[in-house]
Structure formats: C-alpha cells, structure tokens
Amino acid sequence: RFNFCAGPAALPAPVLERARDELLDYHGQGLSVMEMSHRSEAFADIAAQAERDLRELLGVPDNYRVLFMQGGASSQFAMVPYNLLGAGGTPNYLYTGIWGKKAINEARHLAGAHVAASSEANGLTAVPRPSDIAVSDDAAYLHYTDNETIGGLAYDYIPEVGEVPLVCDMSSSILSGPLDVSRFGIIYAGAQKNIGPAGLTLVIVRDDLLDRALPSTPTMFNYRVMAEHGSMFNTPPTYAWYLAGLVFDWLRHDVGGLEAMDRINDRKAAKLYAAIDASGFYSNPIATANRSRMNVPFVLADDALNATFLRDAEAAGLLNLKGHRSVGGMRASLYNAVPEAAVDALVDFMQEFERRHG
C-alpha cells in the first residue's frame, strides 16, 4: 500500500524496519531509546550523530545553529517574531497561501506585519516575481513559505533582500533537494513530512540572529537558550529526534544524498503532472514554474465522482488522497519516502478511473 498523506507523512520503509529492530533494546543497552535519559551518553551520541548527518546533508555552515525543538511549525510562526523583533523594525511577509497567512497573523499579535508581496491577485496560483517584492525600509526580517502544502504552490527561486534576514518555512520542502543554507537567516520545518515523526521541529538559525529576542520571549521560545542548552533546556522529543537521525542516515547512505533525492523527486512529480496535463479529466491550476514537487493537488472534471475516486483508490491501496478540507478535490503528497512505484501505481489508477468514468 502507498501513503500519499500530506502529514504526518510516510516514513522510509528501511527506517521503520531499523526502528523496529532497535525498539526494545538499542545497541545492547537493554533499553528502548524511548526509555533513555536525554542526559545519557547513549542519547547524547544519537543526538549528536543526527545533527552531524543533517549538517552534512544540507552543508550547514559553521556559523549556523541547528535546534531540535517542539511545538510544530505553527509555534515557529510566533517564535520568529519573538526572536527577531528585540531590535525593533517591522516583520515583512510574502503571502502565497494558508500557512503563510497563519504566520502573518501570528506576527500581527506581536507587532504590525507588512505584506511585501502577495499572490492573492492570481488566486494563489503563482508566487510573486522578485521585482514584485517591496520590503519596508525598517524590515526586521522577510518571511516566506517555500512550499504551500495545501495549495501545492512552490517558489522557483530564493528571494534576495540584501541585509534583511530571510526567514523560511520549509516544513514541506526541506531535504527534498540541495539547499544553499547561507542565503537564509532562519529556516524552520515541522518534522512530519520529510524529517520524521510529528512532535519535532527543526530550526536552523544564523549565529548573529541569536541576540535579537524581545525581552518578553518565553524561555522555551528563545533560540539562544535552546542553542546554549543543545536543544535540551527541557526534555526534548527524544524518540522523534532518534527517528529523524535514522531518516538523515537513510538519505545519506541509502539514497546517496540530496542531489540523488532531487532527481528522484523531479521524476516523480514530472510523471504525475504529465498524466494530469495529458488528461481532460484531471486538472491542476498552478503556474508551471511554481508547481510543487511535494504536494500535487488536482480536481476531477466532475466533483460528484470524488467519493467514488477516493473509495476506489483506497481499495487499490492508494491511501490519503483527499485534498485539504479548505480546498477540496485531491492531493497526492510525494515526499521523499514515497517511492517512484507509488506514483506509477497512482497514474495507472487515475488513467483506469478516467476510462471508466470520464
């Protein structure tokens, strides 16, 4: 069976098998990782190895801290302004969809937010062009959502904003291919798509941004505190951290790194979009250059067939294809752990369904 869930998403089969094998007794410790003290040597090794593998995969420069936090990407919507507004200035945002809107609203609780460019006029079907981005003179940072998971809308470039720190929500695109971390001030991602189980949140933050927190920042929200305590100010989500480490190891050694992952993700998405475009029955509204490789929303020519499509897909072993409740239709999420065979099976099913109902 193949799982196309947008999150929590499929995990790589070899990762789950290894976790199963190590579940009761981790490397002869007589304990499950779940039962270990986060202060133990064994867990310190697991945590450090996960960070090393992630740094290696993404080529994270030495002047960036990697934080393993909690609270999901949604907590980052608040943590970003808390941590960056201590020196004043206005939060700036690019608006391309539902997740970006939530980030904007959270900043508005703390300070005014300036929308430096928006995709509202094109119905959230294309990202703003670089020349459309108008950052305010007093910008404290510019935030954007690299991949809007619900709309299936992705940036095809990294915005350039001079000295203004660039902050990116990469929840649904991180690790899908190589990335130049040095272009960013802060990158964050909820883990439950390409990293590991829900409950863990990854933050990559440039050193010089650790001094800008508002005095009222809650301790658990403070990046500097987290960095100084090795993400262990309190009890971290140890098991999720361990599983993320297994995923990083899988990416490095089984897949062969992010360039290899990138090529696979290109092929998977190209196959599905080609099938959609070749049919008069399925459609996707997103501008070609901004089509997401990770989340492919599509609608059927006749909405009345949605329930039948989902029922038959499930019977064929194709799970979780229902679109987000706010937009309807279908969505196939093609994160790293979704194999190419899953896309082949989905395309075959869609073509067969169209023959029967189109």
What would the x/- binding string for ligand PLP be over residues 25 to 44, using CB under 6 A? --------------------
| C-alpha of 68 from chain center | 14
Nearer to ligand PLP, 78 or 300 (CB): 78
Considering only residues 117 to 176 of the shown chain, the ones binding ligand PLP according to CB under 6 A are 145, 149, 169, 171-172
Query: Considering the complex, what minimum distance in angstroms separates the CB of residue 58 from ligand PLP?
Result: 18
Whole-angstrom CA distances from 355 to 20, 106, 310, 314, 352 are 41, 46, 16, 18, 5
Is 83 a binding residue for ligand PLP by CB under 6 A? The answer is no
Place of tokens 């100010």: 233
Q: Which of 4, 95, 99, 250 binds ligand PLP (CB under 6 A)?
A: 99
Contacts of residue 191, defined as CB under 8 A and 6 or more positions apart, other chains included, come to 197, 198, 199, 200, 201, 202, 240, 244
Is 72 a binding residue for ligand PLP by CB under 6 A? The answer is yes
Span of 54-62, 70-78, 160-168, 245-253 interacting with ligand PLP by CB under 6 A: 70-78
Angle 180-184-188 from CA coordinates, rounded to 5° = 100
Query: Considering the complex, what minimum distance in angstroms separates the CB of residue 152 from ligand PLP?
Result: 11
| 3-class SS of residue 195 | coil
| Overall size of the chain counted in residues | 358
Nearer to ligand PLP, 7 or 91 (CB): 7
* Annotated binding-site residue numbers for pyridoxal 5'-phosphate: 73-74, 99, 149, 169, 192, 234-235
Query: Considering the complex, what minimum distance in angstroms separates the CB of residue 174 from ligand PLP?
Result: 10
What would the x/- binding string for ligand PLP be over residues 197 to 236, using CB under 6 A? ----------------------------------------
| Token duo for residue 2 | 């193949």
Q: 98 near 148, Cβ under 8 Å?
A: yes
Which residue type occupies 17? E
| Token duo for residue 224 | 């500097």
Q: Each residue of 195-234: b (16+ CB within 10 Å) or e? A: bbbbbbbbbbbbeebbebbbeebeeebbbbbbbeebbbee
Query: Considering the complex, what minimum distance in angstroms separates the CB of residue 170 from ligand PLP?
Result: 8
Query: Considering the complex, what minimum distance in angstroms separates the CB of residue 215 from ligand PLP?
Result: 26
By annotation, the residues acting in catalysis are 99, 169, 193
Residue 301, number of CB atoms within 10 A of its CB: 13
Is 194 a binding residue for ligand PLP by CB under 6 A? The answer is no
Binding residues for ligand PLP, rule CB under 6 A, total: 11
* Annotated binding-site residue numbers: 39, 73-74, 99, 149, 169, 192, 234-235
Nearer to ligand PLP, 294 or 350 (CB): 294
- Binding stretches for ligand PLP (CB under 6 A): 7, 72-74, 99, 145, 149, 169, 171-172, 190
